[in-house]
Amino acid sequence: MAEIVTLEEGIAELVSDGDTVALEGFTHLIPHAAGHELIRQGRRGLTLIRLTPDVIYDQLIGAGCAAKLVFSWGGNPGVGSLHRLREAVEHGWPEPLELEEHSHAGMAAAYAAGAASLPFAVLRGYAGTDLPGHTTVRFIDCPFTGERLAAVRALRPDVGIVHAQRADRQGNVQLWGISGVQKEAVLASARSLVTVEEIVDELEPVPGAIILPGWVVTAVAAAPGGAHPSYVHGYYERDNAFYMRWDAISRDREVFGEWIREHVLEAAG
């Protein structure tokens, strides 16, 4: 059964410096509060995995938590560049950032292979692009038809962190709406932390909801509002204005540092 913990305890117990950590959530349910806790606890040298590193990864990278990024699209959706990510890649500030770059299809397949405990995934992809030089893809021949296919190494993070609507007191997690790769990220990871809007006595069924049974989750922490500025279907909407404001905040090292100090380091967990 998943242990019910505070967010501070969850990050302290599950994530060490140098770990490979996947914080997932596809536009919806992005675990911002957990990311902020990683910054507050000063984690260093992390390999961060995520299909769409957006504002929360910009913050983690700018705060110096990351040594390597495994990703497929790094931008501020509908707005533009991630300026902290760009500064790390283009100028090595505050730390040089190693990149392992995929396509969405490749990363999604690699998570699915990780969840299935397979060493790799097979897909039609990457052929003819310059991506194979910057990722872990190989090409193999189908043993049945001879078709040339791409193989990507399974993703097996040390820790998978996702946000969900709610959990019960046994740590069973209920998640609905756009579900991204969260189920795969939790099942592929050696340890997992799920932050939730609320912990309830009983989970009422919701059509189309995913349940992560408490026995596949390591820890659950309540973090109301923990996906903001992303959204939580049924709880609150996406703060589009924040994503637009982030462009100006993140453009300048000083302004960014001030923002992190005020909203993360000096904010209660």
Beta-strand relationship, 138-141 and 148-153: antiparallel
Smallest distance, other proteins to C-beta of residue 217, A:
18
- 27 makes contact with other proteins (CB under 8 A): yes
DSSP state of 189: S
Query: Pattern of binders to other proteins over 47-86, x per CB under 8 A?
Result: ----xx------------------xxxxx-xx--xx--xx
Q: Which stretch binds other proteins (CB under 8 A): 5-13, 174-182, 192-200, 211-219?
A: 174-182
Peptide bond into 94 cis (omega under 30): yes
Q: Are the C-beta atoms of residues 76 and 247 closer than 8 Å to each other?
A: yes
Smallest distance, other proteins to C-beta of residue 164, A:
14
Report how far apart, in Å, the C-alpha atoms of 76 and of each of 55, 198, 240 are.
Answer: 6, 28, 11
Q: Which is nearer to other proteins, 11 or 174 (CB)?
A: 174
Peptide bond into 229 cis (omega under 30): yes
CA nearest neighbour of 161 among 102, 215, 247, 221: 221
Looking only at residues 94 through 153 of this chain, which bind other proteins when binding is defined by CB under 8 A? 101-105, 108-109, 111-112, 123-131, 133-134, 147-148
DSSP state of 224: T
Q: Which residues bind other proteins (CB under 8 A)?
A: 26-28, 51-52, 71-75, 77-78, 81-82, 85-86, 89-90, 101-105, 108-109, 111-112, 123-131, 133-134, 147-148, 177-181, 183-184, 208, 231, 233, 237-238, 240-241, 243-244
